[in-house]
Structure 1
Amino acid sequence: MLRLQRVEPTPALWSDRAGYPDRLIFHTEPWLRFVAESQRAEPVLATITDGTTTVGHFTGLLTRRYGLRILGSPMAGWTTSYVGFNLEPSIPRRAALEALLPFAFGDLGAAHLEIRDRGLTEADLEGLGLRWAAAPTAVIDLSPAEDSLFGAMASACRRNIRKAGKSGVVIEEASGDDPAFADEFYDQLRDVFAKQGLVPTYSIERVRSLIRNLAPAGSILLLRARDAEGRCIATAVLPWYHRTMYFWGGASYREHQHLRPNEALIWHALRWAKARGVTEFDFVGGNSYKAKYGTTEVPVPWARRSRSPLVARLRDVAKEGFALKQRAAARLARAR
């Protein structure tokens, strides 16, 4: 029978966690610092034991909503992705999830738990009192040769990449201490949301926090696209670690989208990652526009459980309230 025990972070602990084959950037110390800082949350690290043998680890963060303790691994809106477990290959994820429930609601005293683990399936969740939603992601296998990756894209996507080059679009790699990058990205992000009559769901401080925490470890690629006149017309933020690069965010000005800088940014990122031994590019979410890059959809359920129906309702109300607040902020911005 598996058991979770909360532990303090030590160099030896981080070293052990980094040895698991299912490790992701979202389990690392720099990423947890970023989430803790941007969400004012408390990291929770736990070892998973089978008797006296350590067989895995759990990663999450505790926060408070309406005075209640919430354990997110992760929570929606944290601009992070799958967290959950690191496990020895022989350990079933369902068994780890069963052990997590008494740890979350008993040891930690949480009123609500959310988890999105890349290895969990809907079958793992059955019968455990969890609610879940399908939350697929789109990925690209970077193992094939560059020509094969390019050929797997939709013909229109390939034309757009060529058009960007012919139009003088140049992709530039920015450093983590570039003082202009976060401002450029966020200004373009405002333009992206404005197209939908909305405002960004997070502040520029979150972008700065992400870069500040990941850049020293060399775990983030920052790209900007410049037009023939040297103007920055699009940007992309791409964390990476171990075998995977993630599309955390991309933005561009509407008036320059006819130059196709977004496709050029993604193509540069794919080649950059492949050259460094990365074997997967993860768009962190499913969307029809991503299919043009030759993606494969991977199911990753997002599960949650509350101590009581009231807590579950409060979670839904908070989500609805956030959407209303965002629309109100957009109306205010347009009125200025």
Structure 2
Amino acid sequence: MLRLHRVEPSAEIWAERATYDDRLIFHTEPWLRFVAEAQRAEPVLARVTDGDRTVGHFTGLLTKRFGLRILGSPMAGWTTSYVGFTLSPEASRRAALEALMPFAFQELGCAHLEIRDRGLTPAELGGLGLRWSDAPTAVIDLRPGEDALFGAMASACRRNIRKAAKSAVTIEEVVDDPTFADDFYDQLRDVFAKQNLVPTYSIERVRSLIRHIGPSGQLLLLRARDGEGRCIATAVLPWYHRTMYFWGGASYREHQHLRPNETLIWHAMRWAKARGVTEFDFVGGNSYKAKYGTVEVPVPWARRSRSPLVANLRDAAQQGFAMKQRAVARLTGARG
């Protein structure tokens, strides 16, 4: 029977957690510092044990909503894709998830739990009192050669990459440039304005990400420039262990005919492959990503509340956020 035991962060704990093959950047100390700062949340680290043996670790963050303690691993809106467990191959994820329930609701005294674990499947969620929604992600296997990766893209995508090159679009790898967050966020606002919306997070979220993850060397920041040297598109791509993640990308609508977005992704894929990264994760399953030759991976987003009232509050808060976003867009004069 598996159990969770909360541990305090230490150099020993971080080193132990880094030995698991299913580790993600979202389990690391720099990333947790970023999320804790952005969400005013408290990191929760726990060992997963089977008797006297440690068979894995759990990662989450404690926050409060409506005066109630909530354990997110992660929560929606945290701009963090998956968290959950890192486990030894012989450990059952289903058993670890079962052990998480008393840990969250009894030991931590939480009223609500959410978890999105890259290794969990819908078949492992039954019988635990969890509600879940399908939140697939699109990934690219970077192990084939560059010619094979390029050939796996849709023909229109390949043409767009060639068009960008003929239009003198160049890609710049950004290091220690305090203006990058401003460029990215200004372009992000333009992207959202196309749908009469505003971004779901502030520029401070971007600055916090760069401040915490940048020094670790696990963050690729890219700019696309046109033939006149103007910044027309940007991308934010954390990477760690075997995976690079597409955290965010943006471009100005007036320059999208130059096709900088496809060129940014292609540059990032080759950059990651050259450094031994074997997977590119778009952290979402939108249909437009299929043109890059992606494969869809199912990742359920599961949640459980102590009472139906708490579950209803969570759903109402999510709906209210969407309404607020549209209202703010109207008040600030965003245009489609």
Matched, 1:229 2:222: no
| Structure 1 residues 275 and 216: alpha-carbon distance in aligned structure 2, compared to 1, 3 A threshold | same
Correspondence list, 1:198-237, <5 A: 198-237=197-236
CA distance in 2, matches of 1:320, 1:154: 36
Task: State the TM-score, normalizing by the size of structure 1.
Answer: 0.99
Q: Secondary structure at the match of 2:318?
A: helix
Find the aligned partners of 1:119 and 1:74 in 2 and give their Cα distance: 14
**Aligned AA for 1:8?**
E
In structure 1, C-alpha distance between the alignment counterparts of 2:291 and 2:322, rounded to whole Å: 29
Q: 1 CA distance for matches of 2:247 and 2:78?
A: 11
* Residue 333, structure 1, aligned to residue 332, structure 2: yes
Partners of 2:197 and 2:334 within 8 A in 1: no
Q: 1:40: which partner in 2? A: 40
Summarize the Cα distance change of 1:45–1:335 in structure 2 as closer, same or farther, 3 Å threshold: closer
Residue 125 of structure 2 corresponds to: 125
What is the SS of the residue equivalent to 2:110?
coil
How many matched pairs? 335
CA distance in 2, matches of 1:142, 1:51: 39
The separation in 1 between residues aligned to 2:51 and 2:145, in whole angstroms, is 45
Q: Spell out, residue by residue over 1:257-282, the C-alpha distance to the aligned partner (whole angstroms, 9 max, x if none).
A: 00000000000000000000000000
- The corresponding residue for 1:164 is 164
- Residue 321 of structure 1 aligns with which residue? 320
1:113 equivalent in structure 2: 113
Q: CA deviation at 1:333?
A: 1.0
CA distance in 2, matches of 1:215, 1:180: 14
Amino acid in the other structure paired with 1:223: L
Partner SS for 1:199: coil
* Structure 1 residue 52 displacement after superposition: 1.1
Alignment of 1:147-186 (within 5 A): 147-175=147-175, 177-186=176-185
Q: CA deviation at 1:179?
A: 1.1
Q: Indicate the SS of the match to 2:332.
A: helix
Corresponding residue for residue 93 of structure 1: 93
Percent sequence identity is: 82
- Output the CA distance in 1 between the equivalents of 2:73 and 2:2: 19
Unaligned 5+ runs, structure 1: none
Distance 1:132 1:169, change over 3 A: same
Q: SS of the counterpart of 1:327?
A: helix
2: distance between equivalents of 1:75 and 1:185? 24
SS of equivalent residue, structure 2 residue 64: strand
2:237 counterpart residue number: 238
After superposition, the Cα gap between the structure-2 partners of 1:215 and 1:165, relative to the gap in structure 1 and judged at 3 Å, is same
Cα 1:139/1:331, change in 2 over 3 Å: same
Per-residue deviation, 1:335: 7.5
Cα displacement string for residues 286-312 of structure 1 (whole angstroms, at most 9, x for unaligned residues): 011000000000000000000000000
Moved over 3 A (4+): none
Given that 2:154 and 2:293 are in contact with CA atoms closer than 8 Å, whether structure 1 keeps it comes out as yes
Listed one character per residue, the Cα deviations across residues 23-56 of structure 1 (whole Å, up to 9, x for unaligned) are 0000000000000000000000000111111111
SS at match of 1:334: coil
Equivalent position amino acid for 1:86 in 2:
T
SS at match of 1:22: coil
> Separation in 2 of the partners of 1:35 and 1:179?
20
| Counterparts of 1:276 and 1:81, CA distance in 2 | 22
Q: Aligned Cα RMSD in Å?
A: 0.8
- CA shift, 1:81, in A, is 0.8
By how many angstroms is 1:324 displaced?
1.1
